[in-house]
Amino acid sequence: MKKLKLIYNPFAGDHMFKEELDGCIEVFQQAGYNVHIFRSMAPGDIEERLSLIKPKEYDTIVIAGGDGSINNVVNAIMKQGIKSALGIIPAGTANDFASFLKLPKSPVKAAKVIAAGNTRKTDVGEVGGNYFINVCAAGLLTNVSQIVDPGVKNTFGKLAYYIKGLEQLPNLVPLPMRITTPERVMEEYLYWFTILNTAGTGGFDRLSPEAEIDDGLFDFVGFRAMPLHELAILFVKMLASSDYLNDNNVIYFRESNIKVEYLGNDTDMLATDIDGERGPDMPIEVHNLNKRLNIFM
């Protein structure tokens, strides 16, 4: 029989995946899988558990959780050289990557997508020996997913991200940055930047509508420092239409390799976020690993 490793985070999203667990197992068993289950209990245990398996031990690895749980599995797969195809059951709050793939929100329906066996190669980002599948970012809003209270997130869903983002606005600090690509070098004061593999992050799902997961390119979106009233207008434009990318206060380009340096002295501003998890401190060099991961969709 084919072997499937089902990993689930019982604390993700509304904590209700456990109610759908048996239905998902049934779908996988009917598809001819021998199902092995791992219930995550603490940060770091997903990567630790996957570090114990052999590269070809499982035909399929399935993660039921949010973007952070997916990131844990992707890092384990890349670091351990695991050859399994990855299946995703969106059970988190924002589910940015799963939403981009248009995966069903119903766990059982998502399991049926995996059971159908259709896969596609996706790009993976590498930064400082860590990996991401959706986004690497720094500045305003980028740590929102890390600091939103779980109870508030479970109650308000994506709206919790917007609320926490608004709370951060009075603390805006322009960040002096140097951005280097094979084609250009820019020095700018930025409030925020994202290096995207998909169209959005943190519930903002149309940051870069032209993004593709297998084109070998990242979409860089950065907000220049600007008066608060202009920033408010830009946020409204961003939520309403992709035309905001043409705004003079926005830096937008597409590239496969990007270096970002923080030119200031405040060490608190060095942190980055990758897929909702704490990333390496700047300076960072981000590389696109084209079509490196096989995903069910």
Q: Write down the domain spans for the chain.
A: 2-117, 132-288
Q: Give 118-165 pLDDT, tens digit per residue.
A: 999 999 999 999 999 999 999 875 544 444 455 444 444 444 444 455
Q: Which residues of the chain have pLDDT under 50?
A: 143-148, 151-163
Instruction: Return the biggest CA–CA distance within the chain.
Output: 61
Domain 2-117 sits in CATH at 3.40.50.10330
- Length of the chain, please? 297
Instruction: Pick 132-288's CATH classification: 2.60.200.40, 3.40.30.10, 3.40.50.300, 2.60.40.1180.
Output: 2.60.200.40
Cα angle value 101/255/65 (rounded, 5°): 30
pLDDT at 158: 47
Q: State the pTM of this model.
A: 0.87
pLDDT at 93: 80
Those residues whose C-beta lies under 8 Å from the C-beta of residue 253, and which sit 6 or more positions away, are 181, 184, 220
Rounded to a whole number of angstroms, the distance between the first and last alpha carbons of the chain is 22
Burial class (CB in 10 A: 0-12, 13-18, 19+), 265: exposed
Amino acid letter, 231: L
pLDDT at 110: 98
Q: Tell me if 14 sits within 8 A of 45, measured CB to CB.
A: no
pLDDT at 239: 77
Same topology between domain 2-117 and domain 132-288: no
Q: Assign 297 to helix, strand or coil.
A: coil
Token pair in block for residue 30? 């009917």
